[in-house]
């Protein structure tokens, strides 16, 4: 299974000390160089050191034509993540930004976001509850989620 990740899922899970759930769910994740650079720019106490997460692999793109096309609407990390997912024929792209998700989906790439990862993590026993993790993401990582989506996830997780 090939999973490509944008910056947001990794950085937000790192902040709440739950990055291990990506490894648990997928075994490994692949990131493009721009995502590695964005993650490397994180400062203490949430700094990202790639060597500490050997199951995260950095893969360069072989063709930047798609990236140049995507840069019209997206930032570099999202553009490279979508291009890499397409190039590798990834099973899933982890991406949260709405415009990036839409563009990836339009290109035929299966997407999920951090909240989908949380639901799958609960279903597979990597976390016991979704709501405390969402609350921690909101509080510590300034993760934005509408109240209606928050309530929907509570229902889907069976935590009403």
Tokens (6 digits) for 99: 């415009």
Asked if residue 46 has pLDDT above 90, the reply is no
Examine the domain organization and report whether 95 and 45 are in the same domain: yes
Note whether 82 and 39 are same-domain residues: yes
Spatial distance between the Cα atoms of 110 and 146, rounded to a whole number of angstroms: 23
Clarify whether residues 102 and 36 are in a common domain: yes
Does 97 share its domain with 123? no
- 106 and 134 fall within a common domain: no
Q: Give the length of the chain.
A: 160
Domain of residue 100, residue span: 3-114
Domain co-membership, 32 together with 95:
yes
pLDDT above 90 covers a percentage of the chain that reads 90
Instruction: Give the model's pLDDT for residue 45.
Output: 79
Q: Give pTM, 2 decimals.
A: 0.93
For residues 57 and 110, state if they share a domain. Answer: yes
Q: What is the DSSP string of 129-159?
A: -SHHHHHHHHHHH-----HHHHHHHHHHHT-
What mean pLDDT is reported for the chain? 94
pLDDT at 49 over 90: no
Each residue's pLDDT tens digit, 119-142? 999 999 999 999 999 999 999 999
In this predicted structure, the answer to whether residue 12 has a pLDDT above a threshold of 90 is yes
Domain match, 38 and 107 both = yes
83 pLDDT band, cuts 50/70/90, is very high
> What is the arrangement of strands in the sheet containing 111-112, beginning at the earlier edge strand?
56-58, 29-31, 3-5, 92-94, 111-112
Predicted pLDDT at 58: 97
Total tally of structural domains belonging to the chain: 2
């Amino acid at each position: 299974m090939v999973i490509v990740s944008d910056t947001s899922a990794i950085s937000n899970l790192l902040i709440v000390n739950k990055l291990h759930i990506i490894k648990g769910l997928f075994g490994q994740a692949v990131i493009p160089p721009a995502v590695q650079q964005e993650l490397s720019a994180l400062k203490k106490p949430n700094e990202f050191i790639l060597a500490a997460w050997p199951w995260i692999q950095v893969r360069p793109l072989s063709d930047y034509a798609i990236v140049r096309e995507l840069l019209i609407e997206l930032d570099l990390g999202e553009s490279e993540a979508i291009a890499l997912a397409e190039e590798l024929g990834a099973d899933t792209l982890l991406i949260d930004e709405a415009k990036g998700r839409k563009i990836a989906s339009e290109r035929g790439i299966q997407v999920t976001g951090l909240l989908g990862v949380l639901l799958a993590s609960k279903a597979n026993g990597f976390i016991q509850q979704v709501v405390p993790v969402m609350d921690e993401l909101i509080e510590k990582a300034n993760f934005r989620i509408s109240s209606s989506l928050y309530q929907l996830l509570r229902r889907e997780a069976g935590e009403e």
